[in-house]
Amino acid sequence: MAKNDISSKSSSSNTIGSILKKARIKRETSLEDISTSLNIEIENLRQIEEDNFEYFSAPVFSKGYIRSYALELGLEPELLLEKYLEQVGSDKPPNLISANRIPSLLTYPRINLNYAIITTATLLFILLVVYTLPFNQDDHIQSVSSISTPTVEIEGLSSNEFSYNDGLQLETLDSTNESNQDIAQGVEQELTSLVAEDNNTSALVGELEILESSISTQESNNSIVDIEILYLEDCWVEVYDGNNRRLLYYLGREGEEIRLEAIPPVSFLLGNYEGVKVLIDKITYFIPGDARRGDIAQFSVLNEVKE
């Protein structure tokens, strides 16, 4: 019993929280001083010293605070982060689907197998009939239309029997041809005028489209804003522009700088509320207070920039 107590005490004294707390006490520094120096809430530091990593919404915040805390106390952050993985076990999100909740296929009865096969075959037969019926109707229509009308030839009639009607038929054909030519010329003139009007309309529409595209291009170029993101701490940042394009999806480290060009309105999602400094067209943008939800902040930036 005594050996178990000794081992538990030794293991608890080697946790991340105990190491950081001992180093802070050795330097005679209070939590308030560390909080002010790192710009981190004192409650977050207290939870780190108590090894209560479940207090934070994501492992990235725990590791970020451990890194900053270790650097402030002059410790090796990488060693503490390795110990964090050993202590927590894994920083991957848990599997939300348990294997015990997946029912086995062997538990389902097989008495309805024949019924399922018969039903499936019946449905396939109905679909096949419905699918082939239009093709059969088309073939029938084509076969009916392909039957040619029989021609009757009249033989044994001499040319003398039609001599009376030859002159009348020729005059009628000549007058009909002249009227048809006049109608054709009129139709041709109308078509020519319509084609000319259509060409003029197409040219006008093309000019309007070119003018509209140039205006929209100029407006889009004028509305582009320059964005600078300065990482004060380790922070996860997502940025979307006005066209709903994701411009940034990145976990930045302290001291990094990222520059972007975006069409407003620009939407930001910060994993650490105080982790970055945002500049819009070289002007500092102050994050609204109502954009914060815990350590996370979400807000949008329009054309105007508040100094």
Q: What is the pLDDT of residues 171-206, one digit of tens each?
A: 555 555 566 566 666 656 766 665 555 565 555 556
Residue-level pLDDT at 137 = 60
Identify the CA nearest to 284 among candidates 224, 222, 228: 228
What does the alpha-carbon distance between residue 180 and residue 82 come to, in Å, rounded to a whole number?
98
| Orientation angle between helical segments 59-73 and 31-38, nearest 10 degrees | 110
What does the alpha-carbon distance between residue 47 and residue 249 come to, in Å, rounded to a whole number?
28
What does the alpha-carbon distance between residue 119 and residue 185 come to, in Å, rounded to a whole number?
68
Q: What's the longest Cα–Cα distance across the chain?
A: 143
Count of residues making up the chain = 307
Residue-number span of the structural domain to which 275 is assigned: 223-301
- Identify the helix (H) or strand (E) that includes residue 209: helix 163-223
User: Is the residue at 130 inside a domain?
Assistant: no
pLDDT tens-digit readout, 240-279: 998 889 999 898 999 999 999 999 999 998 988 788 999 9
DSSP assignment letter at 92:
S
Residue-level pLDDT at 164 = 43
What does the alpha-carbon distance between residue 235 and residue 288 come to, in Å, rounded to a whole number?
18
User: Is the residue at 1 inside a domain?
Assistant: no
Residue-level pLDDT at 147 = 46
Looking at 49, 72, 88, which one is the last position of a domain? 88
Q: Is the peptide bond preceding residue 265 cis, with omega within 30 degrees of 0?
A: yes
Higher-scoring residue by pLDDT: 261, 135? 261
User: Is the residue at 125 inside a domain?
Assistant: no
Looking at 47, 67, 88, which one is the last position of a domain? 88
Mean pLDDT of the chain: 74
Residue-level pLDDT at 293 = 84
**pLDDT greater than 50 at residue 149:** no
- Neighbouring residues of 247: CB distance < 8 A, sequence distance ≥ 6: 239, 240, 241, 260, 262
pLDDT tens-digit readout, 8-60: 444 556 899 999 999 999 999 999 999 999 999 999 999 999 999 999 988 89
Residue-level pLDDT at 163 = 45
Q: Which amino acid is at 109?
A: P
What's the number of domains the chain is made of?
Answer: 2
What does the alpha-carbon distance between residue 242 and residue 223 come to, in Å, rounded to a whole number?
10
Higher-scoring residue by pLDDT: 283, 100? 283
**pLDDT greater than 80 at residue 105:** no
Domain with residue 51: its CATH number is 1.10.260.40
**pLDDT greater than 80 at residue 118:** yes
